[in-house]
């Protein structure tokens, strides 16, 4: 469940739209950074233990179920990233 802050969003860069864009970019940057570190750890452990090589990982082709699960995750992820804009739309629609 996503927590929604109450009250007005502070403006740091003098333009609310620029602040929203920065919030989106920073959310993406944070997600990518965490994912990169975790993926790097997993790939290194798999290779050290002789379970999978980087070449095998690169050659992997997902089946239909995996593809559908990834699409679902991607939709939820994009919703989180664009949450700032969604909140604004909801506020405008309530007016």
Asked whether 24 and 84 are in contact (CB, 8 A), the reply is yes
Asked whether 27 and 81 are in contact (CB, 8 A), the reply is yes
pLDDT at residue 94, rounded to an integer = 86
pLDDT at residue 21, rounded to an integer = 86
Asked whether 84 and 26 are in contact (CB, 8 A), the reply is no
pLDDT tens digits for range 21-79: 888 889 889 989 999 999 999 999 999 999 999 999 999 999 999 999 999 999 998 88
* CA–CA distance, 50 with 59 (Å, rounded to integer): 16
Model's pTM, two decimal places? Answer: 0.60
């Amino acid at each position: 469940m996503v927590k929604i802050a109450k009250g007005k969003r502070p403006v740091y860069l003098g333009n609310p739209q620029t602040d929203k864009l920065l919030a989106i970019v920073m959310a993406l940057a944070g997600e990518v950074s965490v994912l990169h570190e975790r993926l790097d750890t997993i790939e290194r452990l798999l290779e050290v233990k002789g379970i999978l090589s980087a070449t095998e990982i690169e050659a992997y082709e997902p089946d239909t179920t995996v593809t559908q699960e990834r699409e679902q995750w991607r939709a939820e992820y994009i919703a989180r990233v664009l949450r700032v804009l969604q909140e604004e739309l909801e506020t405008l629609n309530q007016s």
